[in-house]
């Protein structure tokens, strides 16, 4: 074959959207640069005249006084650049102060908390009208722990395409077929665990750990294996449990591409498996409704992350990260998610990954009120939302590097009039995956085509 193509889209509008997400230096159309947009989402650009700057030692004294009086901090805490470190109403712990010290932060900015203004599309007022929206003792404690955790840097080292482990195609297909069986067993295991949960009776998660460990082994031999399993899987259990397994597999594949170590990928996988179990406490008449939901019903849906946290309290052996993921898997980078409308750097890095996987698998699954969305349309929706600031752009790039814009397992029509199934992603070349040609009867011919090469055909249509 000839030399490789530069990454390019197959239509002009798509090219602009890809550029906005893939290259953060590219200006957004007729407005500010992407970097400026991101900065505005993460920081408060307009200092208030009411702001006060205090040293971390002074903050420590304020904390001790608050503890002595049995109250929480009454002010928002920012760093000097305007990044929110901790919202008012939280308790600052010694661990949080230690994180400030590790980051070299010696002075912070404090101000009175502004009025709560959730995004209109997801406004979920509580029945008693509290300012901070949905909250429980468990979520309040988790907010305090998260404040320090978010100061811990997460380092990604995306794996270059030529370094990604790859099996021979026949082995890839064989292991994917085995993985489909493992998928069904894992879905059933999640269902059994959830139905067995009883108040005040803690359950171990050893069985789920073994399943996740097995999938991590699969990802280690071929990054494309887990997405292919998701594409081949045929739903057997209730949507909720199959969905959770799909989210876990896609999230683990993204984590593998980002160069995370085994333990971190395990945490992401467990977070994906358990992030939605609180939906079991939402009436089935709502979560399985074959129609659009009412505003009141949406309030019930938006409470389910808090139900999840409550259920996770009955599980033994869970890393704290799993709770962070479950708590924030439905938040959005621009603050339009739920349950707490967190945004930007207030979100855990792994929750950003699971959030994308959750949206993709939800869109590509059949639901009582709508048919499944074609994988390409779902990926395109994520791309567009990422360009608009709804998702973290680094996470969107990792998603595209892992699944391709024409996701693994989907079918495409090529410029040579043949049809093919996508088998592998090409990192950085999101519109040029590796495909397998299909005969007229839909069966594979065995001919593999790497669309990144100059003399290869191009995709003209997603089927």
pLDDT tens digits for 214-246?
999 999 999 999 999 999 987 766 789 999 999
pLDDT for 19 equals 59
Task: Decide if pLDDT at 458 tops 80.
Answer: yes
pLDDT for 89 equals 52
| Spatial separation of the C-alpha atoms in residues 434 and 453, rounded to whole Å | 10
Indicate if the alpha-carbon torsion angle 188, 190, 193, 196 is positive or negative: negative
Please give the average per-residue pLDDT across 184-195, as a whole number. 89
| Spatial separation of the C-alpha atoms in residues 373 and 371, rounded to whole Å | 6
pLDDT for 100 equals 73
**What does the block give as tokens for 30?**
């007729």
| Spatial separation of the C-alpha atoms in residues 255 and 279, rounded to whole Å | 25
| Spatial separation of the C-alpha atoms in residues 312 and 306, rounded to whole Å | 10
pLDDT for 209 equals 92
pLDDT for 1 equals 47
Model pLDDT for residues 426-455, shown as the tens digit of each residue: 998 888 999 999 999 989 998 999 999 989
- 246 burial (CB, 10 Å; 0-12 / 13-18 / 19+) is buried
Task: Decide if pLDDT at 105 tops 70.
Answer: yes
CATH of domain 1-42+154-463: 1.10.3210.10
pLDDT for 195 equals 80
Please give the average per-residue pLDDT across 204-220, as a whole number. 92
Lowest mean pLDDT, pick from 62-66, 100-104, 146-150, 177-181: 62-66
Model pLDDT for residues 253-299, shown as the tens digit of each residue: 999 999 999 999 999 999 999 999 999 999 988 988 888 888 899 99
**What is the overall mean pLDDT for the chain?**
79
Lowest mean pLDDT, pick from 104-108, 133-137, 201-205, 274-278: 133-137
pLDDT for 15 equals 53
Model pTM score: 0.76
Residue located via tokens 């100059």: 454
Nearest CA-CA partner of 272 in 211, 197, 181, 347: 211
pLDDT for 214 equals 94
Domain(s) labelled CATH 1.10.3210.10 in the chain stretch across 1-42+154-463
Question: What is the β-pairing status of strands 52-55 and 107-112?
Answer: antiparallel
Residue 248's pLDDT band (cuts 50, 70, 90): very high
| Spatial separation of the C-alpha atoms in residues 66 and 32, rounded to whole Å | 42
| Spatial separation of the C-alpha atoms in residues 460 and 373, rounded to whole Å | 19
Lowest mean pLDDT, pick from 66-75, 91-100, 216-225: 66-75
pLDDT for 416 equals 92
Please give the average per-residue pLDDT across 61-89, as a whole number. 59
Nearest CA-CA partner of 315 in 403, 217, 231, 209: 209
Please name the residues in contact with 363: beta carbons below 8 A apart, sequence gap of 6 or more.
372, 373, 377, 378, 381
């Amino acid at each position: 074959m000839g030399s490789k193509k530069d990454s390019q889209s197959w239509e002009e509008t798509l090219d602009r959207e890809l550029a906005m997400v893939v290259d953060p230096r590219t200006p957004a159309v007729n407005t500010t640069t992407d970097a400026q947009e991101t900065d505005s989402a993460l920081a408060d650009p307009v200092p208030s005249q009411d702001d006060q700057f205090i040293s971390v030692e002074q903050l420590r004294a304020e904390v001790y006084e608050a503890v002595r009086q049995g109250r929480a901090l009454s002010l928002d805490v920012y760093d000097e650049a305007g990044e929110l470190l901790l919202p008012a109403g939280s308790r600052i712990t010694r661990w949080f102060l230690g994180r400030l010290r590790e980051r070299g932060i010696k002075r912070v900015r404090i101000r009175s908390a502004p009025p709560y203004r959730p995004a209109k599309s997801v406004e979920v007022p509580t029945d008693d009208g509290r300012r901070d929206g949905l909250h429980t003792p468990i979520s309040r404690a988790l907010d305090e722990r998260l404040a320090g955790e978010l100061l811990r840097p997460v380092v990604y080292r995306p794996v270059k395409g030529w370094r990604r482990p790859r099996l021979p195609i026949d082995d890839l297909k064989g292991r994917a077929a085995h993985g489909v069986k493992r998928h069904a067993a894992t879905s059933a295991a999640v269902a059994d665990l959830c139905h067995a949960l009883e108040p005040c009776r803690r359950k171990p998660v050893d069985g789920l750990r073994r399943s996740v460990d097995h999938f991590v082994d699969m990802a280690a031999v071929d990054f494309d294996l887990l997405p292919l399993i998701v594409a081949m899987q045929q739903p057997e259990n209730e949507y909720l449990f199959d969905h959770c397994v799909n989210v876990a597999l896609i999230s683990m594949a993204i984590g593998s591409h980002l160069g995370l170590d085994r333990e971190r990928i395990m945490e992401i996988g467990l977070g994906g498996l358990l992030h939605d179990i609180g939906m079991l406490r939402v009436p089935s008449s709502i979560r399985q409704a074959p129609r659009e939901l009412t505003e009141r019903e949406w309030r019930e849906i938006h409470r389910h992350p808090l139900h999840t946290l409550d259920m996770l309290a009955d599980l033994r052996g869970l890393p704290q990260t799993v709770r962070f993921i479950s708590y924030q898997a439905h938040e959005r980078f621009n603050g339009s998610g739920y349950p707490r409308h967190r945004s930007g750097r207030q979100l855990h890095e792994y929750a950003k990954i699971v959030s994308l996987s959750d949206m993709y698998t939800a869109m590509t699954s059949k639901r009582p009120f709508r048919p499944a969305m074609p994988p390409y349309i779902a990926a395109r929706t994520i791309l567009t939302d990422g360009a608009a600031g709804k998702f973290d752009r680094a996470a969107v790039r990792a998603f595209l590097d892992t699944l391709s814009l024409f996701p693994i397992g989907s079918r495409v029509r090529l410029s040579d009039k043949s049809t093919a199934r996508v088998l592998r992603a090409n990192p950085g070349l999101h519109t040029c995956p590796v495909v397998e040609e299909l005969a007229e009867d839909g069966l594979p011919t065995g001919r593999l085509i790497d669309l990144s090469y100059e003399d290869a055909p191009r995709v003209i249509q997603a089927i």
